[in-house]
């Protein structure tokens, strides 16, 4: 299907221009692979000029221009007021002009006077999807009659030009794919290092705060399961960023059905290490509230809020956890694992936190940079 076959010409031209942009050929230096083909056109058809012309929005760019006079040879482009190739694009068909001065389509075109175009033969450079990128054209400074042999020869060479363009596109796709693979590998290595560091921290803190081996085994299993849930969610996120609202909800969803835990906050993209740390904080708070705090009885309630401030590079997450209606809270005689973990995670990420053991309920706040 050619560009002109679309119902909406504006949509068709936008798609065509996008296809042209995707070739990554505009404003690139001349290349021997294309120049070899335009030299072949000049020799085979015995013409003055041969062009690989790519028709952009307001200009035509010459990827290859053999025999073109100055200053156009150095500029390697003309405005569309000097373009015969634009008509090839509009029609999606070969354009055969024996004498431009007497042809109704182009008799007023400035290329006749400024570029010395008199006879013109142009074949569409058409992608497999039907988008016409421009044309391969042969130009003579004098009127001449183009034969069927001339047209077939130029069509054959046009096929070679499109093969070269396809090879270029494939090379670009492969290069982009390789870059994506390298990015994913770097992100994976980064996440693995963060995970190992987090696990090491959990084990060390658990050893310090557990009274016996059974207690240690139980809390380690709980916390590693929480970490596993977080990483299951992280695996759905693109490299380099994690949407923190989804990470938090993935951790607390089982508790939301109880109606005494509310969670509100915006969708915010954060670094992977922040997307790992915040759900762990929420897990510790939730576990403590279920065992000892406001979620122990139906009369209690917990409000979890988070907001974002600042701009990219200086943005931060502000987390607030507030319990009410549970057992009367008394300050602990020593810092347990949860307290140590909550403070350590915030500080390791360049933020700060506050844990208040108020009689009416625990209150925890933290500020964590989105991109440590």
User: Over the stretch 212-242, which tens digit does the pLDDT of each residue have?
Assistant: 666 656 666 666 666 666 667 666 777 667 8
Q: Return the pLDDT at 349.
A: 87
Q: Return the pLDDT at 123.
A: 98
Q: Three-state DSSP class for 91?
A: helix
Q: Return the pLDDT at 188.
A: 53
Q: Return the pLDDT at 5.
A: 46
The CATH number of the structural domain formed by 3-175 is 3.30.450.40
Of 248, 231, 237, 243, nearest to 366 by C-alpha is: 248
Residue 273 tokens read as 């290490």
d(CA 357, CA 336): 13
Residue entry with tokens 């009416």: 360
Q: Return the pLDDT at 104.
A: 95
**What is the DSSP track for 232-280?**
HHHTTSPTT-EEHHHHHHHHHHHHHTTSSEEEE----EE-HHHHHHHHH
Q: What is the pLDDT along the chain (372 residues), one digit of tens a residue?
A: 444 444 566 677 889 999 999 899 999 999 999 999 999 999 999 999 999 999 999 999 999 999 999 999 999 999 999 999 999 999 999 999 999 999 999 999 999 999 999 999 999 999 999 999 999 999 999 999 999 999 999 999 999 999 999 888 887 777 776 776 666 556 555 555 555 555 555 555 555 555 566 665 666 666 666 666 666 766 677 766 788 898 888 888 777 777 789 999 999 999 888 888 888 888 889 888 888 889 888 889 999 999 999 866 689 999 999 999 999 998 887 666 467 778 888 888 899 999 999 999 999 999 999 987
How far apart are the two ends of the chain, measured CA to CA in Å?
Answer: 51
| Chosen CATH of 210-369 out of 3.40.50.80, 3.40.50.2300, 3.30.565.10, 3.30.70.330 | 3.30.565.10
Cβ-contact 138, 94 below 8 angstroms: no
What does residue 320 show for φ and ψ, rounded to 5 degrees? -135, 125
d(CA 12, CA 282): 51
Q: Return the pLDDT at 319.
A: 95
Q: Which residues contact 54 (CB under 8 A, 6 or more apart)?
A: 20, 23, 25, 26, 60, 61, 62, 63, 125, 133, 134
Dihedral of CA 177/183/187/188: which sign? positive
Q: What ranges do the domains of the chain cover? A: 3-175, 210-369
d(CA 372, CA 43): 63
Q: Return the pLDDT at 4.
A: 43
Whether residue 5 has a cis bond before it, omega within 30° of 0: no
């Amino acid at each position: 299907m050619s560009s002109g076959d679309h119902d909406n010409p504006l949509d068709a031209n936008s798609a065509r221009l996008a296809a042209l942009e995707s070739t990554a050929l505009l404003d690139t230096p001349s290349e021997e692979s294309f120049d070899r083909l335009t030299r072949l056109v000049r020799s085979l058809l015995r013409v003055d000029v041969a062009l690989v012309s790519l028709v952009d929005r307001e200009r035509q760019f010459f990827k290859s221009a053999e025999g073109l006079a100055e200053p156009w040879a150095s500029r390697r482009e003309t405005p569309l007021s000097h373009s015969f190739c634009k008509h090839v694009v509009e029609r999606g068909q070969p354009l055969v002009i024996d004498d431009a001065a007497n042809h109704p389509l182009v008799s007023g075109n400035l290329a006749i006077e400024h570029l010395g175009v008199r006879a013109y033969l142009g074949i569409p450079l058409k992608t497999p999807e039907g988008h016409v990128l421009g044309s391969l054209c042969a130009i003579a400074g004098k009127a001449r009659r183009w034969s069927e042999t001339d047209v077939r020869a130029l069509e054959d060479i046009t096929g070679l030009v499109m093969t070269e363009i396809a090879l270029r596109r494939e090379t670009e796709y492969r290069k982009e794919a390789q870059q994506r693979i390298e990015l994913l590998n770097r992100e994976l290595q980064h996440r693995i290092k963060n995970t190992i560091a987090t696990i090491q921290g959990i084990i060390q803190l658990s050893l310090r705060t557990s009274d016996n081996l059974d207690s240690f085994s139980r809390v380690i299993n709980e916390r590693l399961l929480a970490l596993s849930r977080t990483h299951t969610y992280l695996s759905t996120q693109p490299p380099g960023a994690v949407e923190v609202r989804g990470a938090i909800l993935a951790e607390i969803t089982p508790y939301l059905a109880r109606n005494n835990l509310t969670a509100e906050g915006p969708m915010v993209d954060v670094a992977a290490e922040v997307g790992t740390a915040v759900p762990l904080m929420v897990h510790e708070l939730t576990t403590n509230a279920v065992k000892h705090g406001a979620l122990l009885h139906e009369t209690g309630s917990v409000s979890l809020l988070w907001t974002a401030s600042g701009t990219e590079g200086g943005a931060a997450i502000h987390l607030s956890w507030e319990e009410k209606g549970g057992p009367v809270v008394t300050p602990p005689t020593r810092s347990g694992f949860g307290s140590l973990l909550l403070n350590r995670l915030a500080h390791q990420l360049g933020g700060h936190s506050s844990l208040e053991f108020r009689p009416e309920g625990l209150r925890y706040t933290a500020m964590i940079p989105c991109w440590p």
